[in-house]
Amino acid sequence: MNPTDYENDEMLFLEEDDSNVEEYDEADAWQVLVVDDDEEIHSVTRLALSDLVLNGRKLAFLDAYSGEEALQIMAERGQDIAIVLLDVVMESDDAGLMVAKKMREDLNLHEPRIILRTGQPGYAPEESVIKEYDINDYKTKTELTRSKLVTTIIASLRSYQQILTINQSRQGLQKIIESASNLLEEHSVKGFCEGVVTQISSLLGLDAGGVVCARAGSVLDRDDDGVYVLGAAGPFANYINEKLENLHDKKITVEVAKCLQEKDHIYGKDYTVLYMNSSGYEAAVYIQVGCSINVIYKQLIEVFMSSISVGYENVNLFHQLRNAAFKDMLTKLPNRNEFINMLDDLENTGVDINEHVVALVDVNHFSDINDGLGQDAGNLLLIAIAERLHTAMGDVVKMGRIGADVFGLIGKDDKVNPQSISKVFSTPFKAGDHTLPINVTMGLCRLLDEESNGLNVLKQSNIALNRAKRSMTANYEYYAPEMEEKTTWRLGMIRQLRSDFAERKLELWYQPQVDLVNERIVGMEALLRWPDKDGGYISPAVFVPLAEYSGLIIDIGAWVLEEACRKLKLLHQKGFPDLRVAVNISMPQFRDSQFVSLVKSALVEHDITPSLLELEITESVVMDEPQIVVDSLKELKAFGLTIAIDDFGTGFSSMSYLQKLPLDRLKVDRSFVNEVTPGKSAFIAETIVTLGNKLGLHTIAEGIEKREQASYMLRLGCDEAQGFLYAKPMPFDQLIEFLDNYQPLEGK
């Protein structure tokens, strides 16, 4: 295009009247990139378009003199460019076409409009070029007069603006869709509200800029009834989750409050406030508008708001579901799930993990408060504890409610320590009309390993808490690795015991018992044995407590009773009709409602005279739940069984319960028998035997290993004995052989 083509155009210049010149914001101008290797074309283009104004915006020009330079400018400022005036032939015959191709495909710039200009008509077919490269217009420089250039520019700018509006609309809808598909994330309400602002702005043809405000009670877990910014775009984006008055814009504060009060849209000259309400979820959308909104736009917005209110309700319902998943609704503290997340996120907060401690605080006997005073009193107590912990610890300590009566704390060790926590509970708590003194047990874990995840830290803290609950000296414990090792060992042993019992690997051995006067065998004690993988045996002192802890002792105990009766029947058939068998019974067996009937059934099934089955119990079993034990033993005694109390004198004996028990025999513990040495009396053993005689009970001494011990116990009046002096525990086959060959010891 020659410069004279512009000079002959009657529309080349506007009248120069300084009085009519308007002020325009250069930063808000339409950006036009002129790409041509002819410098004069740049000058003429600027001259021809210098006074063009569209929608209150002038044109601003960027210049490139080669395809490479054009692509560099686009890479830096492509999102700001509205139109590219592009020469086809520059450093190569198709340089302009290559720019268009790379602009669309490589730089992903699809919004800027392209006007191709060429000085070589017919170089490229116009129809195929426009289709292939998304070109707005394709003109030869000779035919592109100023009037045609202006027309082309205006059409292209309108096209560009429409594309922007469509894309902004798409982005607004996309934000709403994304927030709907990501509703369980913390920012779902925020994302939805940002989408509302963006979508309304696109409906009005504006740049996105506005705020969505809601009352605290409708979507936020706040105690006040203030109005908070839930979502925002443009200059207000930094105020999300803050109170509305923090915007420091009185106009917005007043108009939003008015909208929420009047529950209706407000259309001002340069602003709009839209009202949203769905099932009690109330919000106001403030939009900055540069001009008044016509009737058609008002109708469009009101239809949109009517539809979007349903989505607003759904988002808030999902927000409540998320709160239910991660927040304790009673105390408003994070729950166990969120507490674990807080532990996981701790290293991302920039704090020194090595200075931090996690504590689990367990309220002792909380169930008694619930049972005695009612659940309402219990709930009020938990709320009071949460409030006092927060007051005492401050915001520097993170906290949560981990269980029904367990609180979790995360903070530096100068705050989270047994002394500071105990101080919180040093004075009673008010729970309604009740004043309640509270004691707690604490499990603490120092954070030493940055690799530890939240779930593992919580597990370690819980191990320390359980250890503290078993402690008789202190109400707290710090986690140590050996605690976990012991727990892991215990669980492994329980698994192995359960497996071996299921595979019938447990064995029942027997230790004979003799009459001290004639040393004839009168019975035997059935002793449980657990073979290990190395050919040895695991001590009953190790595995019996594990069986009781796991509840497996009930099944094992039932098998022992059944096996002992079966083998006793075999002994009777082999010519030993008067032998009895003693079986140890633990407390979990007494708690089993089927225990008594189980014992009776075993005797009946194997046709055993009840008096030949002796049940041995320890003092600790009696003292644990005396009434259950007494009632069960009385019923079994009435059925004909023999009852013995084992390890008598080693615990805290109660004479009142001793008199209530239907006993037949007292067993003198081996620790008292060991006191028997030449020239020295065994006072406790003597006392037990004397007590047994006065109560009309038989006595049997355990652990007899030496002849002088047997002689001494005989002189005391003890009736029976068992120990290595006579026989060690042995499997049943060896027992048969032993009985066949047994002769009373000489030298009585």
CATH, residue 615: 3.20.20.450
- Cα–Cα nearest to 209, from 246, 250, 239, 178: 239
Tokens 């674990």 belong to 340
| pLDDT at residue 224 in the model | 58
Q: Which of 34-38, 235-239, 510-514, 574-578 has the lowest mean pLDDT?
A: 235-239
| 488 belongs to a structural domain | no
pLDDT at 486: 84
CATH code for the domain in which residue 409 is found: 3.30.70.270
| CA distances in angstroms from 37 to 73, 91, 100, 242, listed in the order given | 15, 8, 16, 54
* Partners of residue 363 on adjacent β-strands: 440
**Token digits for 74?**
């686009």
273 inside domain: yes
Alpha-carbon span 308 to 192, nearest angstrom: 10
Mind listing the pLDDT tens digit for each residue in 393-410?
998 999 999 999 999 999
DSSP letter at 347 equals G
Q: What is the pLDDT of residue 182?
A: 45
Identify which has the larger pLDDT, 10 or 438.
438
Lowest mean per-residue pLDDT among 192-196, 270-274, 571-575: 192-196
pLDDT score, position 8? 43
Residues 61-79, mean pLDDT to the nearest whole number = 92
Write the DSSP string, 224-282.
Answer: S--EEEEEEEGGGGGGTTSBGGGG--HHHHHHHHHHHHHTS-EE-SSEEEEEEEETTEE
What share of the chain has pLDDT > 70, as a percent? Answer: 81
Neighbours of 323 (CB within 10 A): 17
| Structural domain total, the chain | 4
The residue-averaged pLDDT of 532-545 equals: 91
What pLDDT score does 179 carry? 45
Pair (106, 187) in one structural domain: no
CA distance 628 to 609: 25
Domain boundary, last residue among 300, 326, 352: 326
Is 551 a member of any domain?
Answer: no
SS3 content of the chain, % helix, strand, coil (to 5): 50, 20, 30
Q: Do 197 and 179 contact (CB within 8 A), yes or no?
A: no
Tell whether 401 and 475 lie within a shared domain. yes
Pairwise CA distance, residues 634 & 660, whole Å:
9
Supply the CATH number for residue 141's domain. Answer: 3.40.50.2300
Cα–Cα distance for residue pair 732/232, rounded to 1 Å: 83
Dihedral pair phi/psi, residue 647, rounded to 5°:
55, 35
Q: Say if residue 612 is in the same domain as residue 660.
A: yes
Angle ∠(165,166,172) on CA atoms, nearest 5: 90
On whether both 195 and 80 belong to a single domain, the answer is no
CATH code at position 267: 3.30.450.40
Q: What is the pLDDT of residues 315-338, one digit of tens each?
A: 667 767 777 788 888 998 999 999
pLDDT at 9: 44
Q: Which of 122, 117, 124 has the alpha carbon at shortest distance from 142?
A: 117
Q: Which helix (H) or strand (E) covers residue 194, if one does?
A: helix 188-204
pLDDT at res. 246? 83
Q: What is the pLDDT of residue 349?
A: 66
Asked whether residue 413 falls in the same domain as residue 441, the answer is yes
Looking at mean pLDDT, say which of 6-10, 203-207, 241-245, 455-459 comes out highest. Answer: 455-459
pLDDT for residue 208 is more than 60? no
Q: Which of 76, 73, 80, 89 is nearest to 41 (CA)?
A: 89
Domain assignment present for 520: no
- Answer yes or no: is 719 within a domain: yes
How much of the chain exceeds pLDDT 90, in percent? 47
Of the listed ranges 10-14, 499-503, 525-529, 661-665, the least confidently predicted one is: 10-14
Round the average pLDDT of the chain to a whole number and report it. 84
Is it the case that residue 494 has pLDDT exceeding 80?
yes
Does one domain contain both 247 and 344?
A: no
Residues 346-389 have pLDDT tens digits of 866 666 777 899 999 999 999 999 999 999 999 999 999 999 99
Copy the structure tokens of residue 337. Answer: 């799930």
Domain boundary among 479, 507, 542: 479
- Shared domain for 437 and 348, answered yes or no, is yes
Owning domain of residue 376: 336-479
179 compared with 321, residue with greater pLDDT:
321
Last residue of a domain, one of 130, 165, 200: 165
569 pLDDT higher than 50: yes
Q: Is the pLDDT of residue 122 over 70?
A: no
Are 690 and 620 within one domain?
yes
364 closest CA partner among 251, 432, 440, 418: 440
Length of the chain: 748
Map tokens 């014992």 to a residue: 599
Same domain, 617 and 711: yes
Residue 487 belongs to a domain: no
Digit-coded pLDDT (tens) for 92-104: 888 888 898 899 8
* Alpha carbons 713 and 45: distance in angstroms, whole number: 126
Q: Are residues 11 and 144 in the same domain?
A: yes
- Give the three-class secondary structure for 96: helix
Residue at 409 is within a domain: yes
pLDDT over 50 at 747, yes or no: no
- For residue 651, pLDDT over 60 is answered with no
Q: Which residues contact 622 (CB under 8 A, 6 or more apart)?
A: 629, 645, 654, 657, 661
CB-based contacts of 247, cutoff 8 Å, min separation 6 = 211, 229, 236, 239, 253
Does 394 fall in a domain? yes
Q: Which of 347, 328, 353, 349 is nearest to 338 (CA)?
A: 328
pLDDT reading at 3 higher than 70: no
- Give the contacts of 612 (CB within 8 A, at least 6 positions apart): 523, 568, 578, 579, 580, 581, 642
Whether residue 229 is found in the same domain as residue 186: yes
Q: For the chain, how many helices (H) and strands (E)?
A: 27, 26
- Same-domain pairing of 35 and 137: yes
